[in-house]
Structure 1
């Protein structure tokens, strides 16, 4: 009886390892089959970036441009204290439970990581107003035409309930960030990087066809310090 259960456990663990290996292999293979392999014919006029911490990616835009003033969508009143010299806004997606309860990697637990991957919870949008010096590490150049930028602006708006930014009261990592309600959920196949990558693909940026990991997003971009 004990041997039978041990075999079942062993086969279950082996199956999980094989599935994880397949998941990683597909993600890596698709890096070499990017969407929009031909660059846009329009002249890039908007300086933007993808910011990666090695796991998670954010889209980074200038706070104000001819297309949008992000302060109108994400008002400074939603934040504790935005630095007066902030020049950029970083926008990312994530699992509600994970986002709100894991401000640092030291707060990460196995149950929270598993809960995020298994899904079932709604996603949130995390917004930060950043100073130029905060983009020194992990920034990748994202040159955009005005058309591409407008498409990304629409993509962000579409991720908000009815296009409205609804802040999560009292939810902050620091003085310069805030959390907002978002459409959709988070799971193994819809990660923070998947949502970043989808926006880039819709805007015609060369990126992997599936982006569950940060390296899928930045593989075709060039590291650059603003």
Structure 2
């Protein structure tokens, strides 16, 4: 703050628009923004506390088990169009840290199985060994969730530990290097908690999200999490 009535505010935002790769073409917009401004307090100053509960809480750690499901149309951003919408299945396991009522931080491992990858592998004979594993991915995520009551804004950034199909597909089918999108994975979504996440010993969480590779949507999914 410059003084008691004027303070400088700065921030960062990121906006993503797309159809979540549920249908092709998947044309979207990624818009990162920086902003700065002045905030003028015109109301009469009040020394009384603004909140009934402090933001800080004793540190807590919880385990998270997630069941995930989604859909996407197999292909690149613009082609081929008119294809089948394939299901994606997933399972996640993580640990999260709750330092306050407003913020949680999570580290997790997530496995995804793509039925589209499996069908493509069988039809094109890309491998004869453990096709289900070849059509799966394993990702490490680090995430932050901003919580307001029973709602949460969930953002995660991660990298692939296991991504054989896409690596082979990019190199031998598309004849490209693939680049960072074969390494980076991100998720952005909203969660709803059954109980107050700040005070509950265990909880159920329902979420909807977009999973992307370097800002390019991969699939749209939902998740059901057990937190304890």
TM-score range, shorter chain: under 0.3
Higher RCO (Cα < 8 Å, 6 or more apart):
1
Decide which structure has greater strand share: 2
Greater share of residues in helix: 1
Look at both structures and tell me which one has the larger radius of gyration over its CA atoms.
2
TM-score (norm 2): 0.25
